[in-house]
Structure 1
Amino acid sequence: MSAAAARQTRSLPIPEGFEGQRIDQVVSRLLGLSRTVAAELVADGDVEIDGKPCQTKSERVSAGAWIEVVLPPPPEDLLVQSTEPVEGLDVLYDDDDIVVVMKPVGVAAHPSPGWSGPTVTGGLAAAGYRISSHGPDERQGIVHRLDVGTSGLMVVAKSEAAYSELKRAFKERRVSKRYRAVAQGHPDPLSGTVDAPIGRHPRHDYKWAIVADGKPSVTHYDTIEVFPGASLLDVGLETGRTHQIRVHFSALGHPLVGDLTYGADPTMAEKLGLTRQWLHAYRLEFVHPTRGGTVTFASEYPADLETALARLRADS
């Protein structure tokens, strides 16, 4: 496939809320691109406003104007997916419509720009599983995701009917997703709800933050065990924003233990032997997409999280 054949053009109006913003910010937020990629598109003449090429990335936009963006071609590693076996990717359940897996840390849900490591979709393909052809090429069968640095349960659609129904169920918040997390300190109150919008970090493309024009994000939590300087939490999500749990608890002043990206104490992480955030998606419950009836899946903590938890308990 040639680069020219792979490129796509998107044309859309600028919403009211983007009045007066820079064009690179607008392109980034509307199309889900990094600010760096958006700026490069402007510099290459691939962004037009009302039919005229943008001159600089700092050009300000007016609500109601139409932008046209010629998107970059996908990286070559997205066009041919790796199908190498993935160590630690355990299949917990499998039928004609769905497959439920325990995703280990260090594995992405699907291929993406800049990621050359193992993926759930690639690991399933290597194991001989055929998944739904619905969805973008690099995300076929994927109805929800977990961060690379987060372990836990994922359901992947194998049939087209399952894909459509599960996507709808996640969108309508009919899927129960439960996480266990260890946060620094002791949240006050011990149980509560964080309702704060999340969007791209204003200065760092690789991070997310609570921002006024972000997407609605709601996290519920209960403290279930307390240690000196840390708390084990049971967390439920109403929404599924990128890094949602990590961002919300960082904003509360209680970053997840080991999450250096969002302000965790590196000394505590080293003491506990953690090289990632203490966060695990341990429970998943939903109505089976074709057979009906509620199905529930649970997963034990991976070894690195269990070891860190044992050290916290020993210190108590």
Structure 2
Amino acid sequence: MDIKEFTVDQKLRLDKLVAVKEPEISRSQAKSAIEAGQITVDGQTVRPKDVAAVGAVVHIALPDPQPIDLTPENIPLDIVYEDDDVIVVNKPQGMVVHPAPGHPNHTLVNALLYHSPLSQINGELRPGIVHRIDKDTSGLLMVAKNDHAHHSLSDQLHAKTNLREYLAIVHGNFKEDEGVIRAPLGRSPKDRKKQAVVADGRPAVTHFRVLERYGDYTLIACRLETGRTHQIRVHLAYIGHPVAGDPLYGPKKTLKGHGQFLHARELGFKQPSTGEQLDFTCPVPPIFHDTVQRLRRQAGLPVDKAI
């Protein structure tokens, strides 16, 4: 049991106050804990929206997190390429890349461990994972099968010599045909679950080009120069063109789907042992394809063109 206490020194609703005073507890976690009676004020149960009096004592008693058991699972994989060093997999939308609180199993890593040994550089919960894509982003991911390959692929990421290109359906009609977004990213000061453009953030660069315009929506390609958390989603929202379907950074009124319409279409890197350049592409998932076709028909564009 993790037990903490603090004295109220400002008038905020309780779930927000807990998140401010205890940064390791998110506001949503605080809300759930308050509703479960794990956070009390002067020994009394309260509601997340309640504002405690200055001087009151907030008592937090959170249960210990359940251990994550990383077990190989026989989950089907869409393997695009594999050799002795690397696996390139087409991750489906909705699959979490590696175990974490709230997602202890049924992840891509669980499936990969059933298929093959993986590098151990990233520790026992993220074996083989060199870079990640979000749960509701689909597409190509490179995975290291041994430590030598992991070092090589990581070095290529840091040197910005590999290729990572995404397709996205975004809100609005781009005036530009192409451009570069240079805006530093870090944790949002307003919401710990979000990333944001912040002055003291880490450098982040996204290149984009317009592929098709549909009036209220645009199909674009984005190439990552850096790979920060939620980079494409935050950068596009920052310039006024959030990814359609994005539940975190986009508007509520959007295209129906299973999360953001963002797909890692192209991936290129040098094979760690031979130095051979390897390049891969994969088609968009059916819901992405069908949505583009519908937008094309509504805009009077031909639908027989490849996406």
Partner residue of 1:260 out of 232, 240, 247: 247
CA-CA distance at 1:86 after TM superposition: 3.1
| Residue 147 (structure 1) aligned with residue 152 (structure 2) | no
* Partner residue in 1 for 2:166: 179
Residue 188 and residue 77 in structure 1: after superposition, are their counterparts in 2 closer, same or farther (change >3 A)? farther
Q: CA RMSD in A?
A: 2.8
CA-CA distance at 1:275 after TM superposition: 2.4
1:190-226 superposed Cα distances (whole Å, 9 cap, x missing partner): 2101100111111212111111111111100000111
| Residue 292 (structure 1) aligned with residue 280 (structure 2) | no
1:47-66 residue pairs with structure 2 within 5 A?
A: none
| Structure 2, unpaired ranges of 5+ | 2-18, 34-38, 40-61, 300-307
* Partner residue in 1 for 2:100: 112
- Letter of the 1:122 counterpart: N
- Letter of the 1:131 counterpart: L
Is contact 2:136–2:258 with CA below 8 Å preserved after alignment?
Answer: no
Please give the alpha-carbon distance, in whole angstroms, between the structure 2 residues aligned to 1:119 and 1:74.
Answer: 22
* Partner residue in 2 for 1:7: none
Residue 122 and residue 313 in structure 1: after superposition, are their counterparts in 2 closer, same or farther (change >3 A)? same
| Residue 91 (structure 1) aligned with residue 79 (structure 2) | yes
Is contact 1:100–1:154 with CA below 8 Å preserved after alignment?
Answer: yes
* Partner residue in 1 for 2:296: 313
CA-CA distance at 1:188 after TM superposition: 2.8
Please give the alpha-carbon distance, in whole angstroms, between the structure 1 residues aligned to 2:264 and 2:238.
Answer: 21
* Partner residue in 1 for 2:191: 204
* Partner residue in 1 for 2:255: 269
Is contact 1:197–1:211 with CA below 8 Å preserved after alignment?
Answer: yes
SS in 1 for 2:125: helix
Please give the alpha-carbon distance, in whole angstroms, between the structure 1 residues aligned to 2:223 and 2:64.
Answer: 34
| Structure 1, unpaired ranges of 5+ | 4-23, 44-71
* Partner residue in 2 for 1:50: none
Is contact 1:180–1:235 with CA below 8 Å preserved after alignment?
Answer: yes
SS in 2 for 1:137: coil
Please give the alpha-carbon distance, in whole angstroms, between the structure 1 residues aligned to 2:78 and 2:292.
Answer: 22
Please give the alpha-carbon distance, in whole angstroms, between the structure 2 residues aligned to 1:312 and 1:195.
Answer: 29
Partner residue of 1:219 out of 195, 206, 209: 206
165-174 vs 144-153, greater mean Cα deviation: 165-174
1:36-47 residue pairs with structure 2 within 5 A?
A: none
Partner residue of 2:181 out of 171, 194, 215: 194
TM-score by length of 2: 0.75
CA-CA distance at 1:154 after TM superposition: 0.5
- Letter of the 1:250 counterpart: A
1:235-292 superposed Cα distances (whole Å, 9 cap, x missing partner): 10111011111111111111111113212342x313xxx1211100000001111111
Residue 228 and residue 265 in structure 1: after superposition, are their counterparts in 2 closer, same or farther (change >3 A)? farther
Please give the alpha-carbon distance, in whole angstroms, between the structure 1 residues aligned to 2:155 and 2:20.
Answer: 30
Q: Which has the higher helix share?
A: 1
Choose 1 or 2 for highest CA Rg.
Answer: 2
CA-CA distance at 1:117 after TM superposition: 5.1
* Partner residue in 2 for 1:122: 110
- Letter of the 1:294 counterpart: Q
- Letter of the 1:147 counterpart: D
Is contact 1:288–1:295 with CA below 8 Å preserved after alignment?
Answer: yes
CA-CA distance at 1:151 after TM superposition: 0.5
Is contact 2:71–2:105 with CA below 8 Å preserved after alignment?
Answer: no
CA-CA distance at 1:108 after TM superposition: 1.5
Please give the alpha-carbon distance, in whole angstroms, between the structure 2 residues aligned to 1:132 and 1:156.
Answer: 9
Aligned residues: 254
